[in-house]
Amino acid sequence: MKRIICICLTLCFLLCGCSLNSDTVDTSASKLFDDRMLNAPSDRFDLDLAKIAAELSDQAESTSDTNIKKCYAKYGIKKTKTENYNTTILGGSAYCLGVKSIESNGETDIIIVVTARGSTTKTEFLGDQRLLAEISFWRKKDFNGYSVWDNVKEFEDTIWNSLYKYMESLKNGGYFTKNTRIKMLVTGHSLGGAAANLVGARLKSDILDNSAWSGLISKSDIHVYTFNAISVLTTAGNEESGYENIHNVYNKYDSYGPNGNQKDFNASSPYCKFGHTEMYERQDKEEGNSCNNHMNYRAALDNPEEYRLSTCAGKGAFQKSRSDDIESSESSLEASEQEEPPTNDEQYYSDNDEQYSSNTVPPGTYLSTDGYEQVFEFYEGNGISMNAFGFSADGTYKIEGGRIVVNYVIFGSETVWSPSFSMDGDTINIAGTDFIRVSE
């Protein structure tokens, strides 16, 4: 099974190594919220708009709503509504709504801005963990036919119900009419990024049916930017088709991702989301339970060439750009359009990009070295058995890049598990745990 060690509630407090923002609003110089940023189709990645979304996400991450309200006011966003702030232990799902009027061709249109706060309370940190992901069927919820994580779905439900009422109040208050064009910016970091991702996905499916904005908004006017969002989908890979307007900016070295110092929490992935991944590469020094590489997204946007920010150039599939002499973000986009999207994500799951000469593990029994007596049995071909903490399962596997992809059935549910993998002689490493072959 996946590295299911130290399963106790105290682990949730290790995630608190990410310190919250200070109670001061960001006063650094920033580009004005130019209304024209939202004129281009939303499937186009706009660096300036991404910077503003990142600032909003950053300022939302506090136990107080003071910073995010000031940030909204700074950009002329009014009628601010915040919920679920001022808690540090229980509760969570804090967010901020607001509206900005814009003049377009003699008409007054509006921008609705939604910012979801990242994990701040102890309850939220605990919910972000995926230590028992492969057997936690009770945490998997249905979302329009997709399987998503419960804490993300609950957060999205909270925002969605409030957003619907907020839109109705604006409409009833005469803030917009049937001739008003509505645009939206939805954003968030970490858990907030995951909730924003799901809000964006729901908007795509509901804009034609919801009476609050029926006929007033189109998918091309819904701009979604998330930053180092934790996993949304319980399955591997992104759901890209139809969600090209959702941009998930993600650090290859995210603290909670497969290359991070806290990867054992299994909270995050470059993928497992709606939309596509805009990858960057920045590896800051990590000490103890720090999460610097989870929080450095604004610095990466300020230096996109240095940190190899790769954008999709408006396409559904991730386009990678690895040129060291990119002269501008525009040339990066132009170069990316000439490349084929990668066929797998091995370069993001393994720092050393190790390639394996064999696609199978030598048959035998492999015992974990962590003292928890986790056991893997590998058979001729691609058969596998797993046993840990009283749970056992049989299935099949394949080695793919720096991962081992296991398909198995547990409690009558088909499950796919794809942890990090490496092999050195009679020792294999799965999800950070060494297993030694004790018998053939």
pLDDT tens profile 264-276: 777 788 889 999 9
Same domain for 328 and 372 = no
Judge whether 97 and 107 are in contact, CB under 8 Å.
Answer: no
Torsion angle, CA of 265/308/234/238, rounded to 10 degrees?
A: -170
Helix, strand, coil percentages, rounded to 5, for the chain? 25, 25, 45
166 in a domain, yes or no?
A: yes
CA 249, 271, 349, 433: dihedral to nearest 10 degrees? 120
CATH number of the domain at 202, please. 3.40.50
**How confident is the model at residue 168, as a pLDDT?**
87
Domain final residue pick, 349, 382, 405: 349
Same domain, 377 and 343: no
Report if residue 220 sits inside a domain: yes
Residue 1 lies in a domain: no
Q: Predicted confidence band at 176 (pLDDT cuts at 50, 70, 90)?
A: confident
Q: What is the pLDDT of residue 298?
A: 93
Question: Over 80: is that where the pLDDT of 331 sits?
Answer: no
Full-model pTM: 0.67
Q: Residues 28, 92: one domain? A: yes
Same domain? For 193 and 324 the reply is: yes
Mean pLDDT of 335-359: 39
Q: Could you read off the pLDDT of 238-258 as tens digits, one per residue?
A: 999 999 999 999 999 998 888
Q: Are residues 338 and 296 in the same domain?
A: yes
Phi, then psi, of 50 in degrees rounded to 5: -60, -40
Tokens 């590896």 belong to 283
Are residues 31 and 98 located together in one domain of the fold?
yes
Q: Is residue 358 part of a domain?
A: no
Q: Are residues 132 and 268 in the same domain?
A: yes
Q: Is residue 100 part of a domain?
A: yes
Provide the domain limits for residue 241: 14-349
Which whole number is the average pLDDT over 362-379? 85
Out of 349, 378, 400, pick the residue that ends a domain. 349
**345 and 368 part of one domain:** no
Q: For position 422, which CATH number holds?
A: 2.40.128.280
pLDDT digits (tens, 9 = 90+) for 10-23: 233 233 335 444 34
Shared domain check, 393 and 342 = no
Instruction: Note whether 20 and 134 are same-domain residues.
Output: yes
Q: What is the pLDDT of residue 341?
A: 37
Domain count, the chain: 2
Is the confidence at residue 317, as pLDDT, over 60? no
Amino acid 153: pLDDT: 92
Same domain, 325 and 372: no
Of 349, 381, 416, the residue that ends a domain is 349
